[in-house]
Chain A
Amino acid sequence: MLAEIFYGGIAALLCGSLLPLLFPSGIARKASFLLLGAGCALLLAASAVGFFSGSRTAFSIEGILPPIGFSFVIDRLSAFFIGMISVVALCVTVYSFQYVERHEGRGSKSALVSLMGFFMLSMFMVVASSGMLSFLLFWEIMSLSSFFLVMFEYENKDTRKAGIFYFVMTHLSTVFLLVGFLVLYHATGSLDIGPAALPAMTANLAFLSLLAGFGIKAGVVPFHKWLPYAHPASPSNVSALMSGVMIKVAIYGLVRFLLFVLSPAAWWGVLILAAGTVSALLGVVYALKEHDIKRLLAYHSIENIGIILIGIGLYLVFSANGLPEIAALALAGSLFHTLNHALFKSLLFMAAGSVASATGTKNIEEMGGIIKRMPYTAALFLVGAVSISALPPFNGFVSELMIFQAFLQAGAVAAPLLKLFLVACLAVFALTSALAAACFVKAFGISFLAVPRTEKAANAREVPLAMLIGPGALAALCILLGVFSLQLFGIAGYSAPLPDMAVVGTLMIASFAAAFLAIRSPARRSETWGCGIVSQNPKMEYTASGFSEPIVTIFKPFYRTRKHIERTFFDSQGSIFKEGYGEIELVKFFEEYLYMPVARAAGAVSGYVSGFQNSSLNSCMLYAFLASILIILLTGWRA
């Protein structure tokens, strides 16, 4: 039953991806969207069946490619992730229905649709794979299809840079995964993703390479730099998929291997917790300085991946300390946050994409007053902003609440230093969450409220219906998942120690309505008070850089700015100023001190190696001869 629905969904996705490739036309694209939507809906049904049956369903396709059969397993974990991907992919498909046709750019629209289909397909297949080989194969298809999607507007120089950056990083990720898988295979002799009993050192090696591999894909600091390049470069529907679900596939991999394959050592949790805390803080601190709305959202993805890792780290720490109940709370919070982030981040990317498409700019300093021109899109963005800022009663609040609750029970941990470490992480986590709220006051307030700052923003028009329905469904889910969180956890079979948000939500709506009905009075409209200046103009508005300036000043050490000031004076004492020049430059810390040295070292090594390859036949013969001797010696040595 489950297998049939799953295959049906996959087949629909495959047809949907191939159709516009074979017949590039507008009608084929429409048909393709229907197929993609149907495929996602079927996979959603499959995930529901898989999740609630509660058992592990294995099935396989043999004989398509004779030596390799694909075998799949759907248990509750993979069903959860398939459900998440299918919901987001379905909404993005609806959104893309009109977004793709509106999209300006020279790239082929049919290729865009087709690649999107392959991208979705590969994500489902990665999550359902039961063997390492097919996991890696589909992982690579996922990386390549997303690389082509990032490169969609390849005429643009920045896009090409972003694409190459992404290409290198995503392949580094594959290399690390390959190492991890080879270590596992070497130790167990099996390519199945299943429990592996390993000696401590081997397990540590496998864990570290898998963590690096999944960490790069998920955008964990310090491997995060590709995210803020790749997300703004790609079309917005693709950003929604990449930021919403692709980086979650990496989280799936991490959770799968930690929970079902490896047996975690005590320090793994501490490492993951530390990585998560650093990612969360740096993600939001960098986001505050960003004025490109899509890059700002990309930095928030780094932050939220950090929060998810904090939850996973807490799970490992608490279970290593014999506190299974708190550990379960942390893990449930982490997985719930994964789902929530998938929902509100794709919602935000789609709403931002609508605004960017209507105004023609991604810079929030050029927006303003959009709430009056695009009221529905503004409402959708606001729901996303409230959810990501973890405000009650929306979904982001509930998952962060669960992680907070797990943290606050750190008193039960016996080791004193570990307890202090947990409190330090808790403080940073609280800071992160408050900074995220500040950042979204900026993002929503500067771009949607007050007076338009430019002509482009003043001329914005509301987007067509499909571009509202897609994100609208996600917004509704953000609210429902928050308000009925307790009941939903009950249905899923976990009695979470949560406040009943349905009661909280009812009380809030009741008191809002009561206050509104009782106190609302007739209102008059008048000019904003401007200290006697008669008419308000956009230049008097507070800017995004002005808004984040106090935070940027306080967190100066994180930004590593360089100031250059040159001044000349009329007199020798330097009191009568003649002329001057000043600039503030942001040091790209990770690029300058981590990425570039590695890249330069790699360049130097390959330069040295290419020196051998001097295209002289004689030396080539010599290398071949030496290599053969070496192989014979080595194999002989073993035998």
Chain B
Amino acid sequence: MSWEFAVYGAVNVAFVALVSPLFMGVIRKIKALVQGRRGPPLLQGYYNLAKLMKKETVFSSNSSVIMEIAPYISISALFVAALLVPVIMIPEPAYGMGGIILFLYMLALAKFFTALAGLDAGSTFGGMGSSREMTISAIIEPIIVVVFAALAFALNTTNIYAMFAATAGLGVLSANVSLLPLVIALFIILITETSRVPVDNPETHLELTMVHEAMILEQGGRNLALMEVSHAVKQTLLMAFLINIFFPWGISQWPAGGWSHAAAGALAFLAKGVILAAVVGLFESSMAKMRLFRLPTLFMAAFFLSALTIVMQVFA
């Protein structure tokens, strides 16, 4: 493994893992402020993880080895996914890595085992969560793929590194305004995949909103901490697509840019991530949870927007 790529990989993954709980905290804080509460401190996510790491892990007596290994599979899949999405510097592609489909299926792998773990304890909550999570992920999948197909047509590549490299500096919109609807489509994907209002409610695991939180209800201690980190990392990675394709100021090529550029890139990503997290928080606060069977309507809107982009591209 070439050392540049190894250094990029280690730094990128570590940075993503490090900042992810902060973005979660920002969203929580914004929601609290909108509701007129003071809310937990911004670093509450880190405190929670530290506390979970100290607690003992409790497994259901019904559960099997799937329950025990699912959090580790989830975190390892998300770490490999984090390697595929550059947030502070863009490496040269190596080992054929960076494909968009590989990234999506890494997320799918984590989801598959999380859903199995949801069924493992034999609890109705977990089963309901798994069932709904797999349903939602199935119907959002064509939209995700069409969005990336639109990007692939516009940028003439299916490699995430090459996509980001092509948009670095100016952003894709300055070159091709027809991609504007994709901003909204990607935002809906971000909301859906991270189980937020109006798709799911991350604050509760009770009857009406039993999706993600219900699925990991039986996880505890360090295993729960891993699930939480996986979830936060996934959110950061999806945010990175929105940021690096449409608002890429500050990110540069590695190793040509060197360490100072990488540091600037990290700071820029942190700032943009905080802003995007605030937007997500405001969006969540302004919405009510949708009924599960109304969700296809929302997804159809996203699908329409991405299909519109494709049609514009084809006939432009």
Contacts and interface: CB of A to CB of B under 8 A. Distances in A.
Contacts of A438: 134-135, 137-138
Given A431-B142, A500-B95, A554-B139, A450 B76 contact: no
Contacts of A538: 122
Interface stretch (B193-201, B217-225, B242-250): B217-225
B97 to A, nearest CB: 5
B123 A540 contact: yes
Q: B97, B112, B156, B222 — which one has the most chain A CB atoms within 10 A of its CB?
A: B112
A547 B56 CA distance: 31
Given A407-B149, A499-B97, A536-B122, A441 B105 contact: no
A430 interface: yes
Interface string A34-45: 000000000000
A515 B226 contact: yes
Contacts of B121: 450, 528
Interface in A84-99: none
A525 B96 CA distance: 43
B115 A540 contact: no
A388 to B, nearest CB: 11
A508 B13 CA distance: 13
B69 to A, nearest CB: 8
A516 B119 contact: no
Contacts of B63: 449-450, 528
B73 interface: yes
Contact of A524 (B56, B156, B222): B56
B149 A426 contact: yes
A554 B76 contact: no
The A interface, classified by DSSP as helix, strand, loop or mixed, is: helix
Contacts of B313: 411
Given A408-B149, A541-B127, A553 B293 contact: yes
A520 B222 contact: yes
Interface string B80-92: 1001000000000
B288 to A, nearest CB: 20
Contact of A423 (B109, B126, B218, B310): B310
B177 interface: no
A451 B122 contact: yes
B202 interface: no
Q: How many interface residues does chain A have, given as a range?
A: 35 or more
Interface string A489-510: 0000000011110011001110
B142 to A, nearest CB: 4
Q: How many interface residues does chain B have, given as a range?
A: 35 or more
Q: B76, B95, B131, B222 — which one has the most chain A CB atoms within 10 A of its CB?
A: B131
Interface string B282-316: 00000000001100100000010001001101110
B290 to A, nearest CB: 13
Interface string A372-388: 10000000000000100
Interface in A343-380: 368-369, 371-372
A445 B115 contact: yes
A529 B218 contact: yes
B101 interface: yes
A386 B226 contact: no
Contacts of B111: 437
Given A508-B77, A516-B72, A547 B131 contact: yes
Given A426-B149, A437-B134, A507-B83, A523 B120 contact: no
A416 B128 CA distance: 43
B108 interface: yes
B313 to A, nearest CB: 8
A437 B138 CA distance: 8
A553 to B, nearest CB: 6
A410 interface: yes
Given A542-B126, A550-B135, A392 B58 contact: no
B15 interface: no
B96 A450 contact: no
Interface in A416-433: 416, 419-420, 423, 426-431, 433
B72 A401 contact: no
Nearest to A394: B109
Contact of A500 (B96, B128, B138): B96
B148 A431 contact: no
A568 interface: no
Nearest to B137: A434
Contacts of A442: 131, 134
A526 interface: yes
A503 B221 CA distance: 31
A411 B153 contact: yes
Contact of B80 (A368, A486, A507): A507
Interface of A: 368-369, 371-372, 386, 389-392, 397, 401, 404-405, 407-411, 416, 419-420, 423, 426-431, 433-435, 437-438, 440-442, 444-446, 448-451, 486, 497-500, 503-504, 507-509, 511-512, 515-516, 519-530, 536, 538, 540-542, 546-551, 553-554
13 contacts: A391-B112, A440-B112, A444-B116, A445-B119, A450-B121, A451-B122, A511-B76, A527-B60, A538-B122, A547-B127, A550-B292, A551-B135, A553-B293
Interface of B: 1, 53, 56-66, 68-69, 72-73, 75-77, 79-80, 83, 95-102, 105-106, 108-109, 111-112, 115-116, 118-128, 130-132, 134-135, 137-139, 141-146, 148-149, 152-153, 156, 158, 217-218, 221-222, 225-226, 292-293, 296, 303, 307, 310-311, 313-315
Q: Which 4 A-B pairs have the closest CB atoms?
A: A542-B127, A450-B122, A445-B119, A434-B141
